[in-house]
Amino acid sequence: MQIVPVPAFSDNYIWLIHDADSGETAVVDPGDAAPVLAELEVRGWALGQIWNTHWHPDHTGGNLELREATGATISGPDSDRIPGSSVILKEGSEVRIGQHVGRVVEVPGHTLDHIALIFDEAGVAFVGDTLFAMGCGRLFEGTPEQMHRSLQRLIELPGATRLYCAHEYTLANARFAAHAEPENAAIAHRLSQVQILRNDRQITLPTTVAEERETNPFVRAGDVETFARLRSEKDSFR
């Protein structure tokens, strides 16, 4: 499974997934079609599937143009708000690319219908806007209870699992994490590493479950009340 980041807008990452054995290619959360089509052309890949983790336009805005250009099937958790969706993904559903089989896990909080795509054998999870490196998504539709539970489900995955988030928010999240846990040496070290990467305009993803267990205050929150306080503080943190 080859996974390629496609930068979009100011801080989005669209993920292209390619299986060399079958020649199949899928894309996760294509908010903009143009950079995806350009990357496909450079690599000589043919897009067959579009997977959406939630309905927000910066994740679905390229759906129809990509389908028009490639004939790709569009899948997601909400047929009404996801442009062109013809396959509904919910808890227990599967997605496939070549011999790789991913399971769908419902992780509400950022939106009520948010899902994650987990490829257990490959040790890969596409988590959209639920979990970010050292952070988590805003609660636009869900409750703190829902998001806290969703994060716990993801962080229970094996430590080596690579988490592919949809935004380059790591530096801002690291700064808040250092504020939230000023005595956490792992956070301080990671902040310095992230600063170096971003100064060189390098990507900070994917992260891993193990890294998040050590340095993400939102997944480290022991209860819903602590999580809700942290999420509220982060909303206004500068």
Closest CA to 62 of 38, 43, 45: 38
DSSP for residue 231: H
Give dist(CA 97, CA 18) in Å, integer: 8
* Displacement of CA 101 from its chain's centroid (Å): 18
Catalytic residue status for 100:
no
Closest CA to 154 of 111, 203, 189, 103: 103
∠ at Cα 32 (162, 155), nearest 5°? 20
Q: Which of 18, 29, 54, 148 is catalytic?
A: 54
Catalytic residue status for 167:
yes
Catalytic residue status for 21:
no
Q: Which single residue is written with the structure tokens 């969706």?
A: 85
Q: Which of 58, 100, 114, 148 is catalytic?
A: 58
Catalytic residue status for 54:
yes
Longest CA–CA separation in the chain, Å = 52
Is residue 146 within 8 Å of 108, Cβ to Cβ? yes
DSSP for residue 26: E
Q: Which of 18, 56, 100, 114 is catalytic?
A: 56
Catalytic residue status for 223:
no
Q: Which of 18, 100, 110, 148 is catalytic?
A: 110
Q: Strands, DSSP E only, in 121-168?
A: 124-128, 131-132, 135-136, 162-165
Give dist(CA 18, CA 145) in Å, integer: 35
Q: Which of 18, 29, 32, 59 is catalytic?
A: 59
Residues belonging to the active site: 54, 56, 58-59, 110, 129, 167
